[in-house]
Amino acid sequence: MESMRPDFLPADSLLNPDEYRLLAGPALKAAVQVAAARGDPDLFRDMAGMLALLAMVTALTRCYQAGVSDTPVYRKELELVPIAVCALVFTRSGLAPDEVRDCLVALPQAYRMLVDAGALGPQDDNMAQAFAALAAGDTERADRLLVQAASAMAGEVDRWEEQRTGFANVG
């Protein structure tokens, strides 16, 4: 079977189990819960949920980077983690490879627009608290904080999109 990994992600950018527990798993869980609460059981179809996932993993990765001594090469690999987690969602969705690639190009562009507009980023304090809870092994508190942050982020994305287009998201 052909690899599900997009060509632009290096094979050695995979997370170790501890990094997955801190950076990917809890954010994926929160994003899936928020997408389902918004009426879409398939996270990859909820673009606000996917943007929240990208923002959460980005924030968690920054918190992690602040606490580890690393080499510049390792830091570069960590910078790929947020898009790699989103790539995982898109590749597992059943989308065709060219659709996955298009999504992985568009998602960071939309994320940057939202950060520049101030819609994503104000939730970073919650993300820092969630990371601290994850690092301390308090998964219940971390899960609660991540769901709150993901929900707030998805709502901000919806408000931004409504302002930008004049159309409200029904999600």
> What's the pLDDT tens digit per position in 38-94?
998 899 999 999 999 999 999 999 999 888 766 565 677 888 899 999 999 999 999
Are 83 and 6 in contact by the 8 Å Cβ rule? The answer is: no
Tokens 């009426």 -> residue: 39
Q: Whole-angstrom Cα distance, residue 161 to residue 57?
A: 22
Residue 115 burial (CB count, 10 A) = 14
- Give the residue with greater pLDDT, 170 vs 100: 100
Phi, psi dihedrals of residue 10, rounded to the nearest 5°: -65, 145
The proportion of the chain whose per-residue pLDDT surpasses 70, expressed as a percent, equals 85
Alpha-carbon distances, residue 164 vs 35, 49, 161, 168, 170 (angstroms): 22, 18, 5, 10, 15
Confidence at residue 168, expressed as pLDDT on a 0 to 100 scale: 60
For residue 11, what is the DSSP state? Answer: G
Helix 47-67 and helix 25-37: axis angle, to 10°?
Answer: 160
Predicted TM-score of the model (pTM): 0.86
**Integer CA distances (angstroms), 16 to 55, 106, 131, in order:** 21, 27, 17
Q: What is the DSSP string of 49-87?
A: HHHHHHHHHHHHHHHHHHH----HHHHHHHHTHHHHHHH
**pLDDT for position 65:** 87
